[in-house]
Every structure is written in structure tokens, then in C-alpha cells.
């Protein structure tokens, strides 16, 4: 084994999505499916209660609307949204600020990764950049503040009611498309109470393993912290908080990898799922232990040439971790560089030259 400064703690960035994935797989199981719950009251209202599904996308909402129609739901007085399954104040990095998708706010009830995908037609009018998603008034309002140009996905900002208004407007569209009449289309946000009766429990079309493959491939920070918060909810109940989620994650990391992993600045210090927090640390030797344990799930990592690898990038942070595919099996590798110059590709090439004859990625 070749190593250099293997015990020096450095910022891991998005490499942390690898131990997060294993912690979630261990706690929830590969076939775990997120749920979204639907309730009615005596006045004919419908309440949508989010339970943290990170893949509540337009196609899934259209499927939900059809299934509600199949249950002979024909008319709704009010459509109410409920995001109370996650705490209202979440101490997560870059929850607000930039309009980039990576900074999307986490929420128990969010659609399309709490973003909108905007484009402009030849007349410079705002349109939806994806055919499966209608252009809502929320999307129009965000688009008015942008200069026309290339299609652009932006997050829904730090105001939770803006994201929930997008939820309400998308559900209203797809319910109408399924033949369900909504009498009052104004925005209503209320927590679940005893006045409501469960009428439909929707299980996501995507199993956890599929969600993790997407998270790792696109390094999606929103998905990562939805999973992080779900760990806390599964361990301590709802509403999920940052504190209970940190406790649950660190218990899982210590059980998976041993002492020095999770809650102290040793081999791996991790307090959230995305890797955006620059206070988090790992060492190359510590992360090698993570990769040794993650080997059964190596195929979840993105393919790049003859390697399966995940990148981790912040300003001044340029990391890689994964597996080279050689004739006699998979070889784990970790490159941690916290420096102004991005030299990780050159380092990766040098490491690859030390391998036995290489095979092709399966």
C-alpha cells in the first residue's frame, strides 16, 4: 500500500456522501421507500404531509393524483400542505443564500429537489425547462428576477412558504389533470391534528438503493441531507432535528467503522450529509477504512474510466475516493488535497500506474 500524510486531518467535502450512503443503507435497508401521507377532514379538505421524500418529483405527483382519483376522490375544498415532520429551524450548511441548486433548502415536503427548472422561448418569455413540469406562478415569480438566457435550475430560496407554495401549485395542477376539482386554490399550511383521517399512504416508486445511486452520481446535497434527517427521524421519531440526526449518524458510523469515526476530530468527523460544512474532517487512512467497508456497494459510485470514484470539491478542496478496477479485483484509493491548485487528476494518474494490470469496470 502506498501512502503520504495518511493521518493528516483534511476537509473531505462531498466524499462524506459515501459513509452517509452506507449509514443509511444499514439503518433503513436497500429496499426502503419514502412515503408521503394524505389525509381528509370532515369539511372535505385534503392535507399533504411530507415525510422527507427527496425524490418527490413531478412524475411521482402525477402518479399520486391518479391513485387518489382511483380511490374516487372527486372534489376537494382546500388543499393543505404540512412540512412539520422536519423541524422548522435546521442548522445545515448553505441552507439559504445562493440560488444554485446545490443550496436548496431541506424540507419534509419539497418537490423537484426544492428547485424549479426555467427556460425562455424565442420571445424571451419564461417557460418550464422540463416537459413533465408545468410552469407555476411560483416559478414565474422566480424567473422574473433572472435575465433570459440558457435553461437554468434555481432553488426556491430560504423562505419555507415559497417552497410549499410550489408544492401546493404542482399538486393542484396534477389533481385537476386527474379530474379532481379543487374549490379553493389559495395557499394553506397547517400541521397534522386529530381532525384529519389518513386516506392514502403513498410509497415512492424509487427504492433507497436507486436514490443513493442518483445522490452519488450527481453529488446532490439536497438528497444527502434529506437522508441525513431521515436517519434522525427513524432513530428518535418526528419531527427530525439536526441534533437527533447527528446523533443517529454518529452512532451508525461508530458501529460501521469503529472508534474514532463520527463524533470526534479523529479518523472521520461528520455532522451532516452533504459535505458542505468545512468544519468536517477525515484522514486518508480513516477514509480507506470506510472504503474497505463500502466495497459491497462499490457499484453505487459513478464510473470514470477504469475507476469507480466520487469527487469532493470546495474552494481549495480537491478530493477523490473510490476503487481502481484491476485484473485481480478492486483497489481502494483516497486523494485528499486541501490546497489552492487542483492536482487530483495528476495524482490519480500516478496512483493508477502503481496498479497491477487493469481490468474494465463491470
* More reliable by pLDDT, 68 or 98: 68
Q: Which of 57-71, 87-101, 260-274, 337-351 has the lowest mean pLDDT?
A: 87-101
CATH class for the domain made up of 35-111+158-203: alpha beta
Which pLDDT value is given to residue 274?
A: 97
For the chain, the structural domain boundaries read: 13-30+208-353, 35-111+158-203
Fold of 13-30+208-353: Beta-lactamase (3.40.710)
| Cα–Cα distance measured from residue 169 to residue 265, given in angstroms and rounded to the nearest whole number | 45
Tell me what the mean pLDDT of segment 156-179 comes to: 96
Which pLDDT value is given to residue 102?
A: 83
305: left (phi over 0), alpha (psi -120 to 50) or beta: left
Tell me what the mean pLDDT of segment 352-356 comes to: 84
Tell me what the mean pLDDT of segment 165-171 comes to: 98
Cell of 13: 467535502
Which pLDDT value is given to residue 75?
A: 97
Which pLDDT value is given to residue 89?
A: 87
Judged against a pLDDT cut of 60, whether residue 359 lies above it is answered with: no
DSSP class of residue 104 equals P
Which pLDDT value is given to residue 357?
A: 62
Q: pLDDT by residue (tens digit) across 154-167?
A: 999 889 999 999 99
- Assign 71 to helix, strand or coil: coil
Tell me what the mean pLDDT of segment 96-107 comes to: 80
Q: pLDDT by residue (tens digit) across 4-33?
A: 899 999 999 999 999 999 999 999 999 999
Q: What percent of the chain has pLDDT over 70?
A: 96
Q: pLDDT by residue (tens digit) across 251-306?
A: 999 999 998 897 767 799 999 999 999 999 999 999 999 999 999 999 999 999 88
Cell of 81: 400542505
Which pLDDT value is given to residue 66?
A: 98
Q: pLDDT by residue (tens digit) across 311-336?
A: 999 999 999 999 999 888 999 999 99
Tell me what the mean pLDDT of segment 222-250 comes to: 97
Mean pLDDT of the chain: 94
At 210, is the pLDDT very low, low, confident or very high (cuts 50, 70, 90)? Answer: very high
Which pLDDT value is given to residue 191?
A: 97
Specify which residues 78 forms β-bridges with: 184
| Cα–Cα distance measured from residue 176 to residue 352, given in angstroms and rounded to the nearest whole number | 56
Report H helices in the chain. Answer: 17-28, 58-70, 137-143, 160-177, 208-218, 221-236, 242-257, 284-294, 344-353
Amino acid at each position: 500500500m502506498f501512502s503520504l500524510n495518511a493521518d493528516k486531518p483534511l476537509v473531505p467535502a462531498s466524499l462524506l456522501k459515501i459513509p452517509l450512503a452506507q449509514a443509511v443503507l444499514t439503518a433503513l435497508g436497500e429496499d426502503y421507500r419514502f412515503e408521503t401521507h394524505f389525509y381528509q377532514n370532515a369539511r372535505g379538505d385534503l392535507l399533504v404531509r411530507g415525510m422527507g421524500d427527496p425524490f418527490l418529483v413531478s412524475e411521482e405527483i402525477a402518479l399520486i393524483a391518479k391513485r387518489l382519483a382511483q380511490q374516487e376522490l372527486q372534489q376537494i375544498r382546500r388543499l393543505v400542505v404540512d412540512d412539520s415532520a422536519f423541524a422548522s429551524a435546521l442548522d445545515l450548511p448553505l441552507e439559504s443564500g445562493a440560488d444554485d441548486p446545490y443550496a436548496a433548502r431541506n424540507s419534509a415536503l419539497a418537490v423537484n429537489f426544492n428547485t424549479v427548472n426555467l427556460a425562455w422561448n424565442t420571445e424571451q418569455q419564461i417557460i418550464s425547462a422540463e416537459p413533465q413540469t408545468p410552469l407555476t406562478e411560483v416559478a414565474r415569480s422566480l424567473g422574473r428576477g433572472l435575465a433570459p438566457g440558457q435553461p437554468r435550475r434555481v432553488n426556491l430560496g430560504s423562505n419555507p412558504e415559497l417552497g410549499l407554495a410550489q408544492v401546493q401549485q404542482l399538486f393542484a395542477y396534477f389533481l385537476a389533470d386527474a379530474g379532481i376539482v379543487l374549490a379553493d386554490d389559495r395557499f394553506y399550511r397547517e400541521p397534522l391534528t386529530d381532525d384529519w383521517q389518513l386516506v392514502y399512504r403513498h410509497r415512492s416508486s424509487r427504492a433507497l438503493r436507486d436514490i443513493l445511486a442518483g445522490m452519488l452520481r450527481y453529488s446532490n446535497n439536497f438528497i444527502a441531507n434529506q437522508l441525513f434527517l431521515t436517519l434522525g427521524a427513524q432513530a428518535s421519531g418526528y419531527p427530525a432535528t439536526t441534533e437527533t440526526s447527528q446523533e443517529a449518524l454518529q452512532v451508525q458510523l461508530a458501529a460501521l467503522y469503529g472508534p474514532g469515526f463520527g463524533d470526534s476530530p479523529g479518523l472521520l468527523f461528520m455532522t451532516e450529509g452533504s459535505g458542505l460544512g468545512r468544519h468536517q474532517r477525515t484522514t486518508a487512512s480513516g477514509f480507506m477504512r470506510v472504503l474497505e467497508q463500502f466495497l459491497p456497494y462499490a457499484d453505487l459510485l459513478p464510473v470514470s474510466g477504469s475507476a469507480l470514484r466520487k469527487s469532493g470539491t470546495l474552494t481549495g478542496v480537491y478530493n477523490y475516493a473510490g476503487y481502481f478496477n484491476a485484473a485481480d479485483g478492486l483497489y481502494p484509493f483516497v486523494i485528499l488535497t486541501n490546497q489552492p491548485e487542483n492536482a487530483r487528476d495528476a495524482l490519480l494518474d500516478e496512483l493508477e500506474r502503481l496498479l497491477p494490470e487493469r481490468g474494465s469496470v463491470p
